[in-house]
Amino acid sequence: MASMLANLPSVRGLLQEKVSLGRRCWFGSGGPAEVLFIPEDMDDLVGFLRNVRDDAKITVLGAMSNVLIRSNGIRGVVIILGDWFKKIFIENDILEVGAAVHCGELSAAAMDRELGGLEFLAGIPGTVGGAIKMNAGCHGLEIANALMECEAVTLTGQVKWFKISEMGFGYRTSKISDELIVTRAWFRGIPNADYSISKRVKELSSKRSSDQPTNAKTCGSTFKNPEGKKAWELIEAAGCRGMRFGGAAISDKHCNFIVNENNATPEDIETLGEKVIEKVLENSGVRLEWEVIRLGDR
What is the arithmetic mean of pLDDT over 31-38?
97
Domain span including residue 56 = 12-83
- Domain presence at residue 275: yes
Output the CA torsion sign for 76, 82, 84, 88. Answer: positive
Range with the poorest average pLDDT among 38-47, 70-79, 207-216: 207-216
Strand ranges (E), the chain? 14-20, 32-38, 58-61, 67-69, 74-80, 88-91, 94-98, 115-116, 137-138, 141-142, 147-154, 159-163, 180-188, 190-191, 218-221, 244-245, 248-250, 257-260, 293-295
Residue 8 confidence (pLDDT): 94
| Same domain as 47, residue 73 | yes
Residue 2 confidence (pLDDT): 56
What is the CB neighbour count within 10 angstroms for residue 264? 24
> Which of these three, 68, 83, 98, is where a domain ends?
83
Cα distance between residue 33 and residue 39, in whole Å = 15
- Domain presence at residue 231: yes
Cα distance between residue 17 and residue 36, in whole Å = 6
What is the arithmetic mean of pLDDT over 99-103?
96
Give the global pTM.
0.92
Cα distance between residue 88 and residue 105, in whole Å = 9
Q: How many domains does the chain have?
A: 3
**CATH assignment of the domain containing 186:** 3.30.465.10
**CATH assignment of the domain containing 75:** 3.30.43.10
Kindly tell me if the per-residue pLDDT of 72 is higher than 50. yes
List active site positions: 172, 221, 291
What is the CB neighbour count within 10 angstroms for residue 174? 20
Cα distance between residue 124 and residue 102, in whole Å = 8
Residue 141 confidence (pLDDT): 85
> Which of these three, 38, 61, 83, is where a domain ends?
83
Does residue 162 contact residue 176 with C-beta atoms inside 8 Å? yes
Q: Torsion angle of alpha carbons 99, 205, 240, 275, nearest 10°?
A: 10
> Which of these three, 83, 116, 142, is where a domain ends?
83
- Split at pLDDT 50, 70, 90, the class of 38 is very high
Residue 4 confidence (pLDDT): 84
| Same domain as 183, residue 106 | yes
Residue 26 confidence (pLDDT): 93
Cα distance between residue 78 and residue 89, in whole Å = 27
Kindly tell me if the per-residue pLDDT of 1 is higher than 60. no
Q: How far is CA 164 from the centre of its chain?
A: 19
pLDDT 10s digits, 187-241: 999 998 888 999 988 888 887 777 888 889 999 899 999 999 999 999 999 999 9
| Same domain as 51, residue 134 | no
**CATH assignment of the domain containing 267:** 3.90.78.10
